[in-house]
Chains A and B, each alone.
Chain A
Amino acid sequence: MNAILTHLQKLEAESIHIMREVVAEAENPVMLYSVGKDSAVMLHLAQKAFYPSKLPFPLMHVDTTWKFREMISFRDEMARKLGAKLIVHINQDGIDRGIGPFTHGSAVHTDVMKTESLKQALDKYKFDVAFGGARRDEEKSRAKERIFSFRTSDHRWDPKNQRPELWKLYNTRKAPGESIRVFPLSNWTELDIWQYIHLEKIPIVPLYFSAKRPVVERNGTLIMVDDARMPLEPGEEPMMKMVRFRTLGCYPLTGAIESEAANLTEIIQEMLLTTTSERQGRVIDHDQSASMEKKKQEGYF
């Protein structure tokens, strides 16, 4: 036993402490499972927090119906392996209206199929606390986010009216209808996440590893043709390229990067040598300045 904990051991212990506080004090918690690498770490930490018990809350995936197919199969396999209860929520109203990224653009699609859908699901199952895998290092407005983030009964986030968080004393009290989003990975960075996945041998979706995949290039972004719903422009021909993804979301909104990194150490190596930030692959951040802050106020995770 080392006399001093490493940074990863400290982060792990903090996240476990946060999760146990929630389970001890919440009435009906849920873990939002987005199938990405951060969710993978969060899920792994949850197993540790409650071992030898099974997860004392269900996992919920807000499915926009445009996720990569490999994400869906990975998700189902993980839930089966852990014996966890998995809730998949799809905004049926959005489906009926035919909302999709190609027909309505990224902003409307994300708003209806992700933000709206999440609110619907939280209301439907009356979850009072939802774990999310967001990190403070992801984006500037996230740096001021609390670990326990309060939402009004209409799911709004008011950046001026968040509770001070001191020591490890989280105030989980709330009025009926109000809810809390809890971010156990708040203090982790992208590098911490990768190091921890490496150290703990945590399974992740193969899309993070480079492989030959069919892609088209649009506005300088490589988009993978994951299924037949992707409309091709005249003369556009999917090319097979060695690509991988740094973040995962809806396939039409997630840019691939050309890479030879086919295993974990190569990914970390590439990340350490790279010169652009993680969220650059996400179409949503570029829409407008301070866009993430605005989305969060409206209820985006």
Chain B
Amino acid sequence: MAHKSDLIATDIEAYLKAHEEKTLLRFLTCGSVDDGKSTLIGRMLYESKMIFEDQLAALESDSKKVGTQGEDIDFALLVDGLASEREQGITIDVAYRFFSTDRRKFIVADTPGHEQYTRNMATGASTADLAIILVDARKGVLTQTKRHSFIVSLLGIRNVVLAINKMDLVGYSQETYDKIVADYREFATHLGKDGEIPFEIMPMPVSALKGDNIVEKSAGMEWFDGPTLLEYLETVPVQQAQLEKPFRMPVQWVNRPNLDFRGFCGQIATGVVKVGDQIKALPSAKESKVKSIVTMDGNLEEAIAGQSVTLTLEDEIDISRGDVISEAKRPAEVANQFETTILWMAEDAMLPGRTYIIKTGTIMAQATVAEPKYKVNVNTLEQLPAKKLDLNEIGECNLHLDRRIAFDPYDDNRDTGSFILIDRLTNATVGCGMIRFALRRSSNIHWQSVDVSKQARSKMKGQRPAVLWFTGLSGSGKSTIANLIEKKLSSIGRHTYLLDGDNVRHGLNKDLGFTDADRVENIRRVSEVARLMADAGLITLVSFISPFRSERRMARQLMDEGEFLEIFVDTPLDIAEERDVKGLYKKARAGEIKNFTGIDSPYEPPLDPEIRVNTVEMTAEEAADAIIVELEKRGILEG
């Protein structure tokens, strides 16, 4: 790996000393398949002598076999990794490349330019300090250039290199270059608020294939007096802005090796902390002073953004993982409802009303998403109405968390203002987002405490409140069985209420249809009603198809431990369809009813219900008896 420096051979100690002082720059490259993105990265690796001879030999043979440059070296092959991609001739994921010069180490996030991979670009952008946006000089500013720029601005990148590539193919024309730069600047005014361009633009004319203005100045473009790409990347200032912001450290882990030591571990997100500084722990808002900044290499007097440290405090205040230690005078905010921008990253759409797990900083919580205010057409930046967000869609959306957390708006702090959303069943990362601001109502609506409690109300009735949740296909016998059980419970003096799917849709939920999104909202409302009834001390029977596991789980989590019983009325589709009491299956098969569960809308059977009844082998009466026996066994019928 022949680094150019002569010091290597003559004075290795001096060389190492110099290189240990290097800084780090992370950037991403955006461009489409044909913009020459892989070629650009390959060229930088090659020019900075990061390619070994054995790799070069492999590259030469690969270039002849599958390359697109004839007998010339195809630099793109250096960067395209997985076998399946190499065969397809495209890059399909985020790849990270490394090279270094005498002044800096670089980590390059190489992300694809296809429309369906917006999420990959966002992933690469989330950790980048700078973005290189590639434009083909022959084509100028394209739709995809706009899309890439939008995502770059969305993820808060403040430095953009606008690399007008393939200048060799337009005769190194300054006129062409100037026009593209002017077009781009005009477009970029639409990215920020009030016509402000949200990032610094550094335009430069290059040819990745020929090496013009990459490392060496171009002989064909003497009219350009700016730096070469590598010169710029080596010198562009980053990090500094992070130090001027207020101190924030999300607590990762509490270090307690013995009773005398209690340290709070974390990586400093922004700002500087010194011994003796007054800090505030959030959300508790308890204050203390920094007693020591502990590292294995000895205690520090101060630590700065980016460092992983362990803080000890003067006072014994309760701090745990998920809390944010902040500068006392300029603390982080605390709220549980936010306006956010969400990028959806999963095949299954984001459904309003559904609850996901949110991870922000070191906090994990439950977050329910509201209906998007709008989604953004990433090609035109147009705001469109939306009921849900599909894969790779970006929208403005309110989030409601199950608890108050410390945060900063993303524009102020990438670490304490970013989040991911996780599906509760598959555990997949399904979305990511940025907190814009806290909704006022989260601090204005207080929980009114009442003196007559749930315990008091149920004691008066001489019973334990419970929610018996019947789920199953249409025609499975849910309502028949629920009705029988309510009669049996009434006869032994229990106070009950039966919420039936059809009946509720005539009143409370008459505005809802049968799309996935409406089904989720249908269940959310009825779950809340069931919770209020349980709070009133009633035994509540809920008879709803409730086809999705996720919403049944949401309902379960609203109730107290042991209060929710899922009763699966297990009737196979063919039997339910054969019964077809209401004639609905016939209509659904005929296409007269859309989104009918079991026909053209899925039913997700419970994996682990408290009670399962089989209506093929037993009558409704027998099923009801079996359920009563099970309820007795579980102590639900105790006074």
Nearest-CB distance from A202 to chain B (Å)? 12
Q: Which of B414-458 contact A (CB under 8 A)?
A: 414-415, 418-420, 422, 427-429, 432
Residue A268 interfacial (CB < 8 Å) = yes
Partner of B357, one of A24, A173, A191, A290: A173
Contacts of B55 in A (CB 8 A): 277
Residue B460 interfacial (CB < 8 Å) = no
- Contacting chain A: which of B195-203, B301-309, B368-376, B522-530? B301-309
Partner of B16, one of A268, A274, A280: A268
Contact yes or no, A195 B16, CB < 8 A? yes
Contacts of B81 in A (CB 8 A): 140-141, 143-144
Nearest-CB distance from A137 to chain B (Å)? 5
Nearest-CB distance from B127 to chain A (Å)? 7
Contact yes or no, A1 B429, CB < 8 A? no
24 contacts between A and B (CB under 8 A): A7-B105, A9-B306, A13-B306, A17-B308, A50-B255, A54-B257, A140-B81, A143-B97, A164-B119, A164-B120, A168-B267, A169-B359, A171-B429, A175-B427, A187-B107, A271-B1, A272-B8, A272-B15, A274-B52, A275-B1, A277-B54, A289-B83, A293-B83, A294-B83
Contacts of B432 in A (CB 8 A): 164, 166, 169
Contact yes or no, A195 B8, CB < 8 A? no
Contact yes or no, B257 A53, CB < 8 A? yes
Q: Considering the chains assembled together, what is the distance between the CA atoms of A198 and B17 in angstroms?
A: 10
Nearest-CB distance from A165 to chain B (Å)? 6
Residue B221 interfacial (CB < 8 Å) = no
Residue B223 interfacial (CB < 8 Å) = no
Contacts of A277 in B (CB 8 A): 52, 54-55
Residue B138 interfacial (CB < 8 Å) = no
Q: Given A171-B359, A173-B422, check contact A7 B104 (CB 8 Å).
A: yes
Residue A228 interfacial (CB < 8 Å) = no
Q: Given A52-B257, A199-B20, A273-B8, check contact A21 B252 (CB 8 Å).
A: yes
Residue A6 interfacial (CB < 8 Å) = yes
For chain B, give the interface size range.
Answer: 35 or more
- Contacting chain A: which of B21-29, B382-390, B399-407? B21-29
Q: Which residue on A lies nearest to B428, using beta carbons?
A: A163
Contacts of A189 in B (CB 8 A): 98, 100, 105
Residue A20 interfacial (CB < 8 Å) = yes
Question: 1/0 contact trace for B59-91 toward A, CB 8 Å?
Answer: 000000000000000000001111110100000
Contacts of A276 in B (CB 8 A): 52-54
Q: Which residue on A lies nearest to B53, using beta carbons?
A: A275
Residue B3 interfacial (CB < 8 Å) = yes
Nearest-CB distance from A123 to chain B (Å)? 20
Q: Which of A158-190 contact B (CB under 8 A)?
A: 159, 163-169, 171, 173-175, 186-187, 189
Q: Considering the chains assembled together, what is the distance between the CA atoms of A140 and B531 in angstroms?
A: 54
Q: Which residue on B lies nearest to A47, using beta carbons?
A: B296
For chain A, give the interface size range.
Answer: 35 or more
Contact yes or no, B304 A1, CB < 8 A? yes
Contact yes or no, A274 B1, CB < 8 A? yes
Contact yes or no, A167 B126, CB < 8 A? yes
Nearest-CB distance from B237 to chain A (Å)? 9
Contacts of B84 in A (CB 8 A): 159
Contact yes or no, B9 A166, CB < 8 A? no
Q: Considering the chains assembled together, what is the distance between the CA atoms of A7 and B98 in angstroms?
A: 12
Contact yes or no, B420 A166, CB < 8 A? yes
Contact yes or no, A10 B9, CB < 8 A? no
Q: Name the residue among A13, A47, A265, A294 with the largest chain B CB count within 10 angstroms.
A: A13
Question: 1/0 contact trace for B345-387 toward A, CB 8 Å?
Answer: 1000000000001011010000000000000000000000000
Q: In the complex, given contacts A169-B418, A187-B98, A276-B53, what are 6 additional A-B residue pairs having Cβ atoms less than 8 angstroms apart?
A: A1-B301, A1-B303, A7-B104, A189-B105, A192-B105, A195-B16
Q: Considering the chains assembled together, what is the distance between the CA atoms of A186 and B308 in angstroms?
A: 17
Contacts of A186 in B (CB 8 A): 96
Q: Considering the chains assembled together, what is the distance between the CA atoms of A186 and B24 in angstroms?
A: 15
Q: Which of B1-44 contact A (CB under 8 A)?
A: 1-3, 8-9, 12-13, 15-16, 19-24
Residue B543 interfacial (CB < 8 Å) = no
Q: Considering the chains assembled together, what is the distance between the CA atoms of A167 and B1 in angstroms?
A: 31
Contact yes or no, B83 A168, CB < 8 A? no
Residue B554 interfacial (CB < 8 Å) = no
Contact yes or no, B255 A10, CB < 8 A? no
Contact yes or no, B3 A143, CB < 8 A? no
Residue B95 interfacial (CB < 8 Å) = yes
Q: Considering the chains assembled together, what is the distance between the CA atoms of A141 and B300 in angstroms?
A: 40
Q: Which of A182-219 contact B (CB under 8 A)?
A: 186-187, 189, 191-192, 195, 198-199
Q: Which of B248-262 contact A (CB under 8 A)?
A: 252-253, 255-257, 261
Contact yes or no, B20 A143, CB < 8 A? no
Contacts of B266 in A (CB 8 A): 20
Q: Name the residue among A4, A12, A166, A195 with the largest chain B CB count within 10 angstroms.
A: A166
- What is the predominant secondary structure among interface residues of chain B facing chain A? mixed
Q: Which residue on A lies nearest to B56, using beta carbons?
A: A275
Contact yes or no, B255 A1, CB < 8 A? no
Q: Considering the chains assembled together, what is the distance between the CA atoms of A9 and B24 in angstroms?
A: 9
Question: 1/0 contact trace for B230-254 toward A, CB 8 Å?
Answer: 0000000001100100000000110
Residue B151 interfacial (CB < 8 Å) = no
Q: Considering the chains assembled together, what is the distance between the CA atoms of A24 and B23 in angstroms?
A: 30
Contact yes or no, A144 B95, CB < 8 A? yes
Nearest-CB distance from B156 to chain A (Å)? 10
Contact yes or no, A6 B21, CB < 8 A? yes
Nearest-CB distance from B531 to chain A (Å)? 26
Contact yes or no, A167 B321, CB < 8 A? no
Contact yes or no, A163 B429, CB < 8 A? yes
Q: Which residue on B lies nearest to A275, using beta carbons?
A: B53
Q: Considering the chains assembled together, what is the distance between the CA atoms of A6 and B17 in angstroms?
A: 12
Q: Considering the chains assembled together, what is the distance between the CA atoms of A192 and B266 in angstroms?
A: 23
Residue B566 interfacial (CB < 8 Å) = no
Contact yes or no, A24 B96, CB < 8 A? no
Q: Considering the chains assembled together, what is the distance between the CA atoms of A23 and B362 in angstroms?
A: 12
Contact yes or no, A49 B308, CB < 8 A? yes
Contacts of A49 in B (CB 8 A): 265, 308
Contacts of A268 in B (CB 8 A): 12, 16
Contacts of B304 in A (CB 8 A): 1, 3, 5
Partner of A171, one of B21, B267, B360, B427: B427
Q: Given A143-B95, A273-B8, A290-B83, check contact A1 B422 (CB 8 Å).
A: no
Nearest-CB distance from A172 to chain B (Å)? 9
Residue B94 interfacial (CB < 8 Å) = yes
Q: Considering the chains assembled together, what is the distance between the CA atoms of A137 and B100 in angstroms?
A: 12
Contacts of A192 in B (CB 8 A): 105
Partner of B267, one of A11, A17, A144, A290: A17
Contact yes or no, A9 B307, CB < 8 A? yes
Contact yes or no, B98 A1, CB < 8 A? no
Contacts of B239 in A (CB 8 A): 4-5
Q: Given A16-B267, A24-B321, A293-B83, check contact A7 B23 (CB 8 Å).
A: yes
Nearest-CB distance from B159 to chain A (Å)? 16
Nearest-CB distance from A23 to chain B (Å)? 6
Residue B93 interfacial (CB < 8 Å) = yes
Contact yes or no, B23 A141, CB < 8 A? no
Contact yes or no, A273 B20, CB < 8 A? no
Partner of B2, one of A16, A24, A48, A275: A275
Partner of A191, one of B100, B257, B306, B308: B100
Contacts of B97 in A (CB 8 A): 137, 143
